[in-house]
Amino acid sequence: MIKDFTIIVPVFNEEACLPELFQELKNYIEISAVKSEVLFVDDGSTDNSPQLIETYCLDNPDFNFLLFDKNYGKGAALKAGFDLCKTSILGYMDADLQTHPEDFEKLLPYIEEYDLVTGWRKDRKDSGFKKISSKIGNAVRKVFTKDHIHDTGCPLKIIKTTSAKRIPMFKGLQRFLPAMILLQNGKIKEVPIPHYPRIAGFSKYSLKNRFMGPLLDCFAFLWMRKSYINYKIDEKG
């Protein structure tokens, strides 16, 4: 039975979004179906994000943080969160509030049966460029991964911690989390969730990191799939 939950929030230069994000996460923790806590991982922000995170977390016992010494990328932030997580399940969301923490409640009912449950932003509230580039990116990834997920990049996911810790993360691999769970012979589930316009700040994605980076990551995933070691221990003594 699932008893506890860690929400990992990677942050990079999101000071304008953080005050509202803090409040929404605090509100969610009070109504969550399972005991929940939050782990912020600041990925070398150059604005006031680290100071805001540290101040807020020191005043709120259910909130913790890691501050990177420089920018390593979202994959590194998630890997650090996975490594430190001590609860039975973990999830993550972006700091831009285009997904909301209360929508974890739509995913939680499935995590007993599945190893990863991911959101599906069926009605995207993004610019035309972002919608088209995400559609193309998802289509290309499905060709490589055959995971049959509509919205691999959705930044609202829940994963069993034991499964998450077995994912050999490398830069960009956050785009392939469902496929990596399938490599473990795990089960994945996609659930429609709302999507919201960005309330402040700006997107960190460009033409280069929406197309060229993900395409190269697909080839890295193919190597990973071929080389991945998967085992189960039957007995210990």
Q: What are the CA-CA distances from residue 236 to residues 187, 230, 233 (Å)?
A: 25, 17, 7
Q: In which element (H, E) is residue 76 found?
A: helix 74-84
* Amino acid 202: pLDDT: 62
DSSP letter string, 1-61: ---EEEEEEEESS-TTTHHHHHHHHHHHHHH-SSEEEEEEEE-S-SSSHHHHHHHHHHH-T
Q: Strand order in 89-93's β-sheet?
A: 63-67, 35-42, 4-11, 89-93, 156-160, 116-121, 188-193
Alpha-carbon distance of 153 to 97, in angstroms, equals 15
- In this prediction, residue 123 carries a pLDDT of 76
Q: What is the pLDDT along the chain (237 residues), one digit of tens a residue?
A: 678 999 999 999 999 999 999 999 999 999 999 999 999 999 999 999 999 999 999 999 999 999 999 999 999 999 999 999 999 999 999 999 999 999 999 999 999 999 999 999 887 765 555 656 566 666 666 666 667 788 888 899 999 999 999 988 777 778 889 988 988 999 999 999 999 887 776 665 555 555 556 666 776 677 677 776 676 777 777
Q: pTM for this structure?
A: 0.82
In this prediction, residue 129 carries a pLDDT of 52
**Residue 40 phi, psi dihedral angles, 5° rounding:** -85, 135
Confidence (pLDDT) at 151: 84
Distances (CA, A) of 125 to 18, 50, 196, 199: 20, 28, 6, 11
DSSP string covering 51-73, please?
Answer: HHHHHHHHH-TTEEEEE-SS---
| Domain spans, the chain | 4-227
Burial of 71 (0-12, 13-18, 19+ CB in 10 A): middle
Distance of CA 144 to the CA centre of its chain: 20
What pLDDT score was predicted for residue 141?
64
* Rounded distance between C-alpha atoms, residue 209 and residue 46, angstroms: 20
Cβ-count burial of 79 within 10 angstroms (0-12 exposed, 13-18 middle, 19+ buried)? Answer: buried
Phi, psi (degrees; rounded to nearest 5) at 77: -65, -45
Q: Can you identify the CATH homologous superfamily of domain 4-227?
A: Spore Coat Polysaccharide Biosynthesis Protein SpsA; Chain A (3.90.550.10)
pLDDT of amino acid 143: 64
pLDDT for res 150: 83
At residue 149, the pLDDT reads: 81
- The position carrying tokens 């996460």 is 25
Residue 67's contacts (CB-CB under 8 Å, 6 or more residues apart) are: 42, 50, 53, 54
